[in-house]
Amino acid sequence: MKAEAVRHILDSIAVMFPDAHCELKHSNPFELTIAVLLSAQCTDATVNKVTADLFQKYKTPEDYVSVPPEELEQDIRRIGLFRSKAKHIQSLCKILIEQYNSKVPSDYNKLVQLPGVGRKTANVVISNAFGVPAIAVDTHVERVSKRLGLAGWNDSVLEVEKKLMKQVPKEEWTVTHHRLIFFGRYHCKAQNPACADCPLLDVCREGKKRMKKSQLSKDRDK
């Protein structure tokens, strides 16, 4: 995609969501890491409801490893895949205690080696907790990027990430990540995107297709 088209997309989304930010509630890098780990296949809203109590009970890695796995499972049972996530959390906390003085490392390569931490989680943590430019690709970012032509329909998550990093100025990586999430979460939704009211309809192949189908349906109903 040409640089002017990318700029148009970035500027339009910036106008729509100038205050886009990480919606997972946290007060330090450790809490953010736990919250992002819990957010896999789960909404941020649900995670925030669970962590409201969780972060009162567990404040350090030592707190998480001091309880039986079953107890932690009960504390996060409203979260999808809570058993495997509880296991990952306790394994992650043990490593933090043993290797990192109970602190979350700010190095990407060290983060992705932690249990339950993949590229997305590591990118969210380094960008939001440590101020390192990064683009984390979740379902919203992937969907929006493909609809707008910033990535190909068949691109993997990694390919989407690499293409965004190439097209978006590095100093805008983190804020673009947040804005794409807000755009996908509140406007360009998976099932009912607001195509008719979208300022990016002119460059959105998915939107044009949907609007054409909608018009054809209206014409048939006349």
Active-site positions? Answer: 120, 138
Nearest-10 Cα torsion for 30, 32, 35, 37: -80
177, two tokens:
């990540």
- E-strand spans in 67-132? none
Closest CA to 207 of 215, 217, 196, 216: 196
> How far apart (Å, rounded) are the C-alpha atoms in residues 201 and 11?
14
- Total Cβ atoms within 10 A of residue 6: 19
